[in-house]
Amino acid sequence: MLTSECICTHLRRAARGVSRHYDEALADFGINVAQFSLLRQLQRLDRPSITTLAQVMGLDRSTLGRNLKVLEAEGLVTLAEGADQRNRVVLLSEAGATCLHDAGPAWEQAQLSLLDKLGAGQRDELVRLLGVLA
């Protein structure tokens, strides 16, 4: 394996590995971890605008818009008019809520698997360090 002192290289490699881990766990549900995360945020938020959802998820509007189009085409989310015509809100559909409910245990198992690898102390330290970098 190529060795590097570049923090970005190590973080990107780790992020791809972690995403792959969750994606494999969620594959049977037809969603990936980015989509699962988006659905989870919609479950937590009350009729967020696209701008609000993008901010909460740390995405730019165009990236979020591309992700929403996929989920909308699959019937997992719906877009509706907001308080004014310039503002659209994102809603979790019934099918999206069902998918999220059904995929939850697989996500939880993937989460526990990573926690087993790290241990609680290292997980907490990793989250702390990532917060510093964010």
- Whole-prediction pTM: 0.88
Whole-Å CA distances, 35 to 11, 16, 63, 77, 120: 21, 15, 12, 11, 26
Instruction: Determine the Cα–Cα distance for residues 122 and 134; give it in Å rounded to an integer.
Output: 18
Tens digits of per-residue pLDDT, 86-118? 778 999 999 999 999 999 999 999 999 999 999
Tens digits of per-residue pLDDT, 48-80? 999 999 999 999 989 999 999 999 999 999 999
Query: Which CATH architecture group holds 32-133?
Result: Orthogonal Bundle (1.10)
**What is the residue extent of each domain of the chain?**
32-133
